Structure 1
């Protein structure tokens, strides 16, 4: 008979042991590290240590510490008790403490229960303080507040600064290449002339929009306080000013005060998740363009890679656009995580969801990891990106006269044999046969156009510089709007 899984033996009172985690001698359980071995977009990022299990546990302790201080200030607990709680909760969990929290989390279904036990154990010599720990709270108050605080710190310290850096780099590329001719592609095929500056400006708008949504989500991040079923009954019974306590805790955690608990109203989490997924989507769009433009047969773009980056385990000649590859991978992962948050929000039943709340935790942390890692790589990608104007122009020229067909038909349809349909069909037939589009147009046009030889009129019509639409003006607007937003944020 197969042995029961370790956690089932733990629930049955047996000592847990797994051949993957336990030493050959003794039953000491090791922590299973998750440093991003299979998630390179955030592995080793500046935010990675701020989002690991130890950081989550320490942030929950921070919430308990600040709550103890708030209770002390309000006279709910003596100040010396509050001070003792603050001292005990200040220490980062040790390896042994974190191991025990991880082991015991499945027993109650959330990590706060064993963490509170650990905190009380730290206060074994101060029984009054141990008894006052977690006073009036429920697990969801602390865990929700901690995850909101983790998100706030990640946005303030990593995500927003990196998006600003990415925006600055995109604005520089847009301004530098405002007039650099390029071929626009739709559905993977050459379409019309454009400028590389306008493409970079489009990236810039995406970054700016993503940053705006992140800032809106950051402002909405809120403290959670509602007690066991959202009524704060135990605090009310003790005569506490619950609204005042909530406001004080929000201020100490630098979160907003929603004025009420939100145990089953998960709009705040969903808004945050959507903003994080939007960051990854914006980065993925840019990465897709860069990956395409850096193909050797196009040669339009090149990532500024560090020594040893972008190589292959088998092919010495490879110079892979590795940042773009990682960003595209992240963009494929984020939608599923956002979908989990949306599903959880729609299944938040009763006064505390039975599973939907639990599904949020890994999905939200996954989005935070992807978004912060993606923003860091995006900033570096755009800052080091180089565009080759000659190759951009050469690829436009290689697309041939057919990419100006829209302009020719629009200008000369009334003069052509068979009108618009005759001119359009002649050009389309030549293009499909890889023939001479200009000769095909001349064949159905009169000798004179606009008072001059038709060939001269077509030379002008087939000049891509005259058919850029608003590309340059829109580029200027995007760069100016970014500068204005930067100045406003700095002010």
Structure 2
């Protein structure tokens, strides 16, 4: 008898990595490219290099205008030409940087050489009146590579967060908040520990989610994006030796702030990345709250509390069970939030440490910022689509409430306690008496009302309890549904 063999993939005649149209290894650049695409403008390698060019150009212009570099300020045409190196940055520049880095083995040095080359080429564009070739030696002057890197990362991360991630996050919160307002009075059986519990409204529960997410958004919106430009070990040592009459701390602070960043006065060779760790921790916390909502929404769908709008979902369920419509948007959101959080946690943990004055662990780590935000953006997109595809089924909510009259035991117990404290006789052991009535078996409206009538409560209390139903037992839940948008006043 021949031995069993593993069914291996056949040997390919062509390797997929050799195809002229590159095949993406990761899903963000493949299957989900259309969703993650906006982040390419900020958190891709070319976007980082474009931001590095921007910092190099602005630093040179700044030093010339401040007369730190002798020779006078540049003409308007020269300044515009330098800034067009950034705004016109394209595929040819990307290819040139790749060729240069293959020689230099240093990405920032390649950026420096590109700017220098463009300045040397300026006469062919601007004519002989341009002075840019005179200032080639000013490119990257008084800089270590991390002076350029930290500022470039701060600028690109800020733009990615503010222009891509925050709008998507706010859109999700707005949807949840609107759904909360629309269902403020939709009474619902709560489930604590998975068991029937004191009713709420669907609107109030959604408002809790919107409130939690909004708090995290405010933290993220208030992020300080720090930057520094202070030399090889953060002391401006070469600066002081070369130009001792310049107030280097004050000058570099003005430059950092001119980029819209917060100046960090005390660093090693690197800006310490603490602001990044803080931001990624806040984003991960937002992710986890949104993840919690995704799993709850999935559960509400399974209970029938949420009805899936088939036209909005626009998807096939099981490949073999045609009756199914799977809650795939919430499942996809859940999975991508988890991947994003894993990366954000790793970034936050890694970036706050650096051996003595500098090591390069942050270099490769920061190249994954786009991946972390990309999976979060993908999750938010799916979550928004999931919310758009569900409606609250109030009939199911009411049917579930009507099947669980025992949840009114809490109200009856508390009314008995108040009556006892007011001197009413026969109110002993309310918890135990309600436990005997309700624990382990269902009771209906008639049984509960008969029990209330047998207690000897004051007539107005008895009438209030007899008139109570699970659907009415919601406290301030109806009002709370709008508290996220309109908080209560004292």
TM-score by shorter chain over 0.5: yes
Which residue among 154, 176, 180 is the counterpart of 2:182? 176
The 2-side partners of 1:225 and 1:313 are apart by 57
**SS in structure 1 of the partner of residue 165 of structure 2:** helix
Q: Which of the pair has more CA radius of gyration?
A: 2
CA offsets per residue over residues 72-96 of structure 1, 9 Å max, x none? 2222345448666544444324267
Q: What is the match of residue 401 of structure 2?
A: 396
The 1-side partners of 2:24 and 2:112 are apart by 22
The CA deviation at 1:268 is: 0.9
CA offsets per residue over residues 117-166 of structure 1, 9 Å max, x none? 44444455476544322221222222221121112112322333333333
Which residue among 354, 360, 363 is the counterpart of 1:358? 363
**SS in structure 2 of the partner of residue 236 of structure 1:** helix
**SS in structure 1 of the partner of residue 189 of structure 2:** strand
**SS in structure 2 of the partner of residue 192 of structure 1:** strand
1:232 aligns with 2:236: yes
**SS in structure 2 of the partner of residue 386 of structure 1:** strand
**Structure 2 counterparts to residues 251-400 of structure 1, below 5 A:** 251-261=257-267, 263=270, 265-295=272-302, 297-302=303-308, 306=312, 308-309=314-315, 311=317, 315-355=321-361, 357-358=362-363, 360-382=365-387, 385-398=390-403, 400=404
Which residue among 410, 417, 420 is the counterpart of 2:414? 410
The 1:106/1:162 distance shift into structure 2, 3 A limit, reads: farther
5+ long unaligned stretches in structure 2: 1-13, 123-132
The CA deviation at 1:439 is: 7.8
The 1-side partners of 2:25 and 2:138 are apart by 33
CA contact under 8 A between 2:49 and 2:111: conserved in structure 1?
yes
The 1:31/1:91 distance shift into structure 2, 3 A limit, reads: farther
CA contact under 8 A between 2:36 and 2:374: conserved in structure 1?
no
The CA deviation at 1:328 is: 0.9
Say which is worse superposed, 65-74 or 380-389, in terms of deviation: 380-389
The 2-side partners of 1:301 and 1:210 are apart by 29
Q: What is the match of residue 436 of structure 1?
A: 443
The CA deviation at 1:179 is: 1.1
Q: What is the match of residue 188 of structure 1?
A: 194
Which residue among 152, 156, 164 is the counterpart of 2:162? 156
Which residue among 404, 419, 423 is the counterpart of 2:429? 419
Q: What is the match of residue 61 of structure 2?
A: 69
**SS in structure 2 of the partner of residue 479 of structure 1:** coil
**SS in structure 2 of the partner of residue 191 of structure 1:** strand
CA contact under 8 A between 2:228 and 2:265: conserved in structure 1?
no
The 2-side partners of 1:210 and 1:153 are apart by 18
**SS in structure 2 of the partner of residue 265 of structure 1:** coil
The 1:395/1:112 distance shift into structure 2, 3 A limit, reads: farther
Say which is worse superposed, 66-75 or 93-102, in terms of deviation: 93-102
1:215 aligns with 2:221: yes
The CA deviation at 1:181 is: 0.5
CA contact under 8 A between 1:303 and 1:381: conserved in structure 2?
no
CA contact under 8 A between 2:181 and 2:481: conserved in structure 1?
yes
The 1-side partners of 2:109 and 2:23 are apart by 19
CA contact under 8 A between 2:35 and 2:377: conserved in structure 1?
no
CA contact under 8 A between 1:270 and 1:342: conserved in structure 2?
yes
**Structure 2 counterparts to residues 136-151 of structure 1, below 5 A:** 136-151=142-157
- RMSD of the TM alignment (CA)? 4.0
The 1-side partners of 2:189 and 2:478 are apart by 14
CA offsets per residue over residues 370-403 of structure 1, 9 Å max, x none? 34444444445445542222222223334x1233
1:475 aligns with 2:475: no
The 2-side partners of 1:227 and 1:326 are apart by 45
1:92 aligns with 2:97: no
The CA deviation at 1:230 is: 1.2
The CA deviation at 1:280 is: 1.5
The 2-side partners of 1:458 and 1:339 are apart by 51
**SS in structure 1 of the partner of residue 112 of structure 2:** helix
The 1:303/1:149 distance shift into structure 2, 3 A limit, reads: farther
